[in-house]
Amino acid sequence: MIKLAIYGKGGIGKSTCTANLSAALAVRGLRVIQIGCDPKADSTVNLLGGRAVTPVMDWLRAHDDDPGEYEEISAVGYGGVLCIETGGPTPGLGCAGRGIITTFSLLERLRLFERFQPDAVLYDVLGDVVCGGFAAPIREGYAEDVLIVTSGEKMALYAANNINSAVHNFEDRGYAKVRGLILNRRNVPGEDAKVRAFAESAGLPIAADIPRSDEISRCEDMGQTVIEGAPDSEAAKRFFALADKLLTR
């Protein structure tokens, strides 16, 4: 089973990459779960035609008890991808990281993985590994592999380096390993060289190179991934190539 967590600087395109990768894996015939681990709860919106699934934290806020079935806190999107969003507390209050841990505990109680029997689970995680909660997807057997999304922008590379270092800190604990970078191009000057230099220094391969593409924006305006809305586009081909690479590992 593919168990993958995707990290990266805020706004770098993690949700775009994760949703497209989920869609590509689904087109290849896999049963896929995508879990958005971000209080904004917008990871899966482009798998759901622009609709939003009720985030787990919202569900728990509205009810005194756990949901009885995982179907109450999930929605089926493009290609049959099961979409779940952790959501988070009221902005400015509570603990978003704890919300992720609580969601994962709930999914275990609901026996999500035993019941859905996924071939791939993708975790789309907010920004940096800022606290224990945001490390939850890479521990206890949830994700085994991490991909970091970056562009050639200085702050994106800075965040990528932080994330890579944070995951390395957990080497003794048997957590997930960083397997590579997704270069999500912003077409900044010298982007290719900057990212390749970072990848070389970190000892990480560039697992995918996603071109800056108006097709991605156009599809997202329709609540779609390019896998759904522009399957013949160059961007879609790159996501299919990444999916195939994961399948052959």
Partner 1 sequence: MSIVSAVLPCYAADTAGVCSALYEMGGMTVVHDASGCNSTYATHDEPRWETVHADIYISALTEMDAIMGNDGKFIADVTAAAHDRKPKFIAICGSPMPMMTGTDFDAAAAEIEARTGLRCFAIHTNGMNDYLAGAADALLAVTQEFAQIREKAKGIGVSILGATPLDFGLSGTVGSLRTWLTENGFSVVSCLAVGQIDLEHAASASVSLVISQTGLKAAQYLHARFGIPYVCGLPVGTLAPVIADALRRSAQTGACAFPCAMRKPGDHVVIGEGIAAGSVAAASGGRVLHPLACAPQIAHPDDLHVPDERSVKEALEGLQPAQVTADPFYRYVLPKGTRLNALPHFAFSGRCFETEIPDLIGRACR
Which of 23, 24, 29 lies closest to 44, judged by CA? 23
CA distances for 203 relative to 55, 132, 161, 176, 206, angstroms: 36, 25, 11, 16, 10
User: Is residue 36 within 8 Å of 44, Cβ to Cβ?
Assistant: yes
**In angstroms, how far is CA 214 from the centroid of its own chain?**
21
Please pick, among 42, 58, 66, 128, the residue that the annotation labels catalytic. 128
Comparing CB distances to partner 1, the nearer of 116 and 170 is 170
Footprint of partner 1 (CB under 8 A): 64, 95, 97-98, 101, 131-133, 135-136, 139-140, 170, 172-175
Identify whether 209 is a catalytic site residue.
no
- To the query of whether residue 245 is one of the catalytic residues in this protein, the response is no
14 is catalytic: yes
**For partner 1, the closer CB: 64 or 232:** 64
| CB contact at 8 A, 125 and 18 | no
Please, which residue, 65 or 114, has the CB nearer to partner 1? 65
- Minimum CB separation of residue 130 from partner 1 in Å reads 10
Q: How far is CA 238 from CA 21, 30, 36, 126, in A?
A: 10, 18, 22, 23
Q: Is 194 a catalytic residue?
A: no
CB of 54 to partner 1, least distance (A): 22
* Shortest distance, position 139 Cβ to partner 1, whole Å: 6
Point out the residues that are catalytic: 9, 14, 40, 128
